[in-house]
Structure 1
């Protein structure tokens, strides 16, 4: 997949992304501050910030944040959503591999769900450039649990049947050994934290359509996919909602 493809593939999904993508658990910031020892006033470069879901997590905890995002529609959504409430936010047009930030300018580089789209060799060099000496890189993302409930087993089968390039995208996420190797001797910590969304049918539909591999309206698999999603929801909803469960995985270390 080319760099331009990975940058632009969410442009037509911004509204669903803002409304239906999951947050990250507050325990992630507790771990970062209390266990790792990062000060809440540390300047964060949030790389691949998208619509600002991860950015808001840091801002709400007191961090000043530079949100770096190459997709214009997502940058606009982040500014519209966050700028009125958070004065310590700057949003810039840049990529993970070419952030546009100055050398030795931030104390923490963070990347959330977008990390699996990056050129991990190039970003390691770029992030080391923009970090203060001894600064840390934090990589984290929500991993959907595939088989922890009959609903999630059925949802995985739905993606395999109807997704446009689901298998190729799913295989991009790094495993623990890959992340250990990426950080090398600089690895300072790893965490696995529970996370979940409780979704009604509209929320579940929006969550599905926020995914880049979900066929959009007009695609021959779009309507059959939504019909299958309705049946899946009807079979497993309790009090009008289903549990969309994740494990938030986090890795932190230096890049010296």
Structure 2
């Protein structure tokens, strides 16, 4: 994973913790029921960020090794999760985890696969997974036109985003993922997910994105003014709704 990628979120950690959406627990149910994930399975959460995905597995009693190259995000996760059992945090990447050979049962990449060097990550996955281990890739894919608010929010990102199109993870859907798993089969499941945010939460959600101008950029103030206008136009009872499809890919390795 290139250095500039690993540092993209360093100045956005507080907003990331405050306003990034979680994932529906149904995706863990699917891994248990359809991928054969069993009690005590060791989970390697690659690109674990602030621990949003790790926490779901810890809550169910799975031991988790969270691999995160960004020190600020790793520290935020440690502050939230290290007090409980089963949590280990390591400085590493999907291409160089630092884990022993054949040591984990499930590799999870939540909101992270699109940052990986895929050939190098595939080699590393093969090295660290136990026989019949599972690889799961997960994204919250924001709906862009399901409501007038979502249409206006997307228009804001199109106007002010710095490299929004280049890093948009939606381009990494089925064909790219199938090629990554090949020659192994891969399953795809989709779950609805909704995030309700007040004005401050929506601002944090926007600022948590790596592709929007930072505070010192002259475009930041106009962008935030536009966001306030968008919120005022669409909020009901003081909140707006960001709607997502949570997309899960999984398969045995």
Q: TM-score, normalised by structure 1?
A: 0.96
Which residue in 2 is equivalent to 1:179?
Answer: 177
Q: Which consecutive residues of structure 2, in runs of 5 or more, have no partner in the other structure? A: none
Which residue in 2 is equivalent to 1:3?
Answer: 2
Maintained 8 Å contact 2:178/2:186: no
Q: Which consecutive residues of structure 1, in runs of 5 or more, have no partner in the other structure? A: none
Maintained 8 Å contact 2:35/2:251: no
Maintained 8 Å contact 1:29/1:61: no
**Alignment partner for residue 189 of structure 1, among 182, 187, 190?**
187
Separation in 2 of the partners of 1:70 and 1:4?
9
Structure 1's 171 and 23: CA in aligned 2 closer, same or farther, altered over 3 A?
closer
Which residue in 1 is equivalent to 2:127?
Answer: 129
Maintained 8 Å contact 1:144/1:245: yes
Number of corresponding residues = 253
Deviation at 1:171, TM superposition (A): 5.8
**Alignment partner for residue 156 of structure 2, among 155, 158, 165?**
158
Instruction: Name the Cα RMSD after superposition.
Output: 1.2
Separation in 2 of the partners of 1:100 and 1:171?
26
Separation in 2 of the partners of 1:188 and 1:218?
43
Task: Write the deviation string for residues 164-217 of structure 1: whole angstroms up to 9, x where unpaired.
Answer: 111111167412122122212422421011011000100000000000011111
Maintained 8 Å contact 2:35/2:252: no
Q: TM-score, normalised by structure 2?
A: 0.97
Runs of 4+ in 1 over 4 A off after TM superposition: none
Structure 1's 32 and 171: CA in aligned 2 closer, same or farther, altered over 3 A?
closer
Separation in 1 of the partners of 2:79 and 2:169?
33
Maintained 8 Å contact 1:48/1:68: yes
Structure 1's 219 and 113: CA in aligned 2 closer, same or farther, altered over 3 A?
same
Structure 1's 34 and 172: CA in aligned 2 closer, same or farther, altered over 3 A?
closer
